Amino acid sequence: MTTTLSPAPSVIEVTPPLYPCGCGDPDCALTVDEAAGWFPGDDPVPHVTVLKYVAEELGLLATCRFFDLHVERSIARFTEVAEAYAPRIAAASIVESVNTWHGCPEALCGGNA
């Protein structure tokens, strides 16, 4: 499956959060279903929109190329990086990106590590 808008696999496995929320609520973590709810319908989700949602979920005010690369790596788990994605793929990519974000390796990038 190499085309951008190929049907999403029926089961999409995302990596569990590396840093689970400390609030004690096991339902606190963002799920693929939740993220998919942001994209009703079958319209392709633009790459920039995926970036925007990941940044919002992580509470990042500014992002850098490390962030962009991180999101691209997460997307690459499910499909090829492209200009837009099927909603389910976009949702999985957002959750994967959020769950596996370590923070930026460069101290100058905003201190979100």
Site mask for Zn ion (CB under 5 A), range 26-65, x = bound? --x-----------------------------------x-
* Least distance between Zn ion and beta carbon 70 (Å): 9
User: Residue from 2, 16, 23, 83 that binds Zn ion (CB under 5 A)?
Assistant: 23
| Smallest separation, CB 105 to Zn ion (Å) | 7
Between CA 52 and CA 44, with CA 84 as vertex, the angle to 5 degrees is: 100
| Of 84, 65, 63, 77, residue with least CA distance to 32 | 77
**Tokens standing for residue 8:** 């999403």
**Is 8 buried (19+), middle (13-18) or exposed (0-12) by CB count in 10 A?**
buried
Which residues are near Zn ion by CB under 5 A? Answer: 21, 23, 28, 64, 66, 104, 106, 109
